[in-house]
Amino acid sequence: MRPLTPQRILGICALLCGVLFAVCVVSLRMGAYPISVRDILSTLFNAAAGRREEIPVEFWQVVFGLRLPRIALGILVGASLSTAGAGFQALLRNPLADPYVLGVSSGAALGAIVSLIVAPHTVGAIQIAAFVGAASTIAAVYFLGRRGGQLDSPTLLLAGIVAASFLSAIIMFLLTMVTGSELRSIAFWLMGDLTAPPPTTNVLGWLGFLFFVFIVAAGAMYTTSSDLNLILTGEQEAKHLGVNVNRVKFVVYIAASVLTGLAVSVSGAIGYVGLLVPHVMRMLFGTDYRMLIPTAAIGGAIAIVLADTLARTVVAPTELPVGAMTALAGAPVFIYLMRRRMR
């Protein structure tokens, strides 16, 4: 088995980034207004070189006004969900754990629905309310999951399941009070959607802030990657080797929850990505979390960009929810992985 070196990690991540770039170019090309690959590359090159006057107006509007911000948001959501999924699977020592297992998505959904009922026409209210709901759920589950002053994984899982069930009941009650266009907006949001307008006209600044939060949370989780490898062999063994297990659990829980809240607040609940992508990356590159965390992030970005491209082109001009596409593709993949594991 080849030793895991920084050069190998960077090489594999660079390869995956190349795949992501190719997927982004394909996504930019497809749509109601088709653009050739040559024109896309020329547009991107001229924009990077600062030669905007050489870019046709229609190309600029389609590429930078419509498709590229949506692709950037898809990259952020996919990377956040996959990184959070890898973190929760290590934290709970459960391969079936995903970013929504601790009720974070239910808290975000409740916040979003309340904002649609109270302030349906306020731009950005849904994102802010969803993140507040996710953060509140994170705090509640954390305090419920403590046992003897320490974070206990089984207790944390039970607290998350109870919180998710309670919040889901409230959501069902609120849905009976909503009618018309608000109900359709809620349904799309619950299935996962990347078309929600940003809370500000400065889209670049908004995306920059979201990516900054992602880098901080994912970076914090990556600092625990070596300790996670030891914890997976057993918590007592890790303690004997000098690992501060409680600190690692706290960092991973907060980082993974922030990533989940970040993704859910801007896109709704998109399933299977946080569950399946870490499994696929383990099969391809091994179980070492020094490799798994960055490859899962890039793999999740690839998965969401592909799913979003299919969602807006399969039945064009009608768009499907991104979550519906990930569920349609993810369920067969999950069954295959499960059968393969059994064999």
pLDDT tens string for the chain (343 positions)?
A: 567 788 999 999 999 999 999 999 888 888 777 787 788 888 888 887 777 777 787 777 888 778 888 899 999 999 999 999 999 888 888 777 788 888 888 888 888 788 877 876 676 777 788 888 888 888 888 888 777 667 777 888 888 888 888 988 998 888 877 776 667 777 777 778 787 666 666 778 888 889 999 999 999 999 999 999 888 888 888 888 888 888 998 899 899 988 988 888 888 888 888 888 998 999 899 889 999 999 999 999 999 999 999 888 887 777 788 888 888 877 787 777 677 766 6
Tokens 């020329």 belong to residue: 42
- Asked if residues 145 and 156 have their Cβ atoms less than 8 Å apart, the reply is yes
State the pTM of this model.
0.88
pLDDT for 339 equals 74
- The residues, ordered by sequence, that sit 6+ positions from 333 with a Cβ below 8 Å of its Cβ are 272, 276, 280
Helix (H, G, I), strand (E, B) or coil at 49: coil
Tokens 């207790």 belong to residue: 155
Residue at 329: amino acid letter = A
68, burial (CB in 10 Å: exposed 0-12, middle 13-18, buried 19+): buried
Helix (H), strand (E) at residue 6:
helix 6-29
Q: What domains appear along the chain, each with residue ranges and CATH number? A: 6-342 (1.10.3470.10)
**Token digits for 70?**
């949506």
pLDDT for 217 equals 94
**Token digits for 186?**
């809620």
pLDDT for 72 equals 92
- DSSP string spanning 259-304? HHHHHHHHH----SHHHHHHHHHHHHH-S-HHHHHHHHHHHHHHHH
| 208-218 pLDDT per residue, tens | 889 999 999 99
Residue 126: C-alpha distances to residues 14, 101, 119, 123, 249 (Å)? 35, 22, 9, 8, 30
Phi, psi torsion values for 230, nearest 5 degrees: -75, -40
- The residues, ordered by sequence, that sit 6+ positions from 267 with a Cβ below 8 Å of its Cβ are 73, 77, 192, 193, 194, 196, 322
Tokens 């179980």 belong to residue: 287
9, burial (CB in 10 Å: exposed 0-12, middle 13-18, buried 19+): middle
Q: How far apart are the first and last CA of the chain?
A: 23
- Asked if residues 196 and 322 have their Cβ atoms less than 8 Å apart, the reply is no
Beta pairing, strands 146-147 & 150-151: antiparallel
pLDDT for 196 equals 66
pLDDT for 220 equals 95
- The residues, ordered by sequence, that sit 6+ positions from 29 with a Cβ below 8 Å of its Cβ are 35, 36, 37, 40
- DSSP string spanning 158-213? HHHHHHHHHHHHHHHHHHTT--THHHHHHHHHHH--S-PPPSSS-HHHHHHHHHHH
